[in-house]
Amino acid sequence: QTITRKNALFAGSHGGGRTWATIATLLQTAKMNDVDPHAWLTQTLERIAQG
């Protein structure tokens, strides 16, 4: 968790920080529900790209 907080310091802007927090929350939620976050993110981005 410390690395995540440290990386968030370099988000670049308030909006970037919010975006980072949203993504980090989604990935952590996936982990908590025994879902592979990389696979989930890949599938989600593919679905978005396909419309």
Task: Please tell me the predicted confidence (pLDDT) of residue 16.
Answer: 75
For residue range 6-39, list pLDDT tens digits in order.
555 555 676 777 888 888 889 899 999 999 999 9
Task: Please tell me the predicted confidence (pLDDT) of residue 5.
Answer: 58
pLDDT exceeds cutoff 70 at 40:
yes
Burial of 17: CB neighbours in 10 Å, binned 0-12, 13-18, 19+:
middle
Burial of 37: CB neighbours in 10 Å, binned 0-12, 13-18, 19+:
middle
Task: Please tell me the predicted confidence (pLDDT) of residue 17.
Answer: 76
Kindly state the tokens that stand for 46: 């593919």
Query: What span, in angstroms and rounded, lies between the C-alpha atoms of 26 and 4?
Result: 13
pLDDT exceeds cutoff 90 at 4:
no
Task: Please tell me the predicted confidence (pLDDT) of residue 46.
Answer: 97
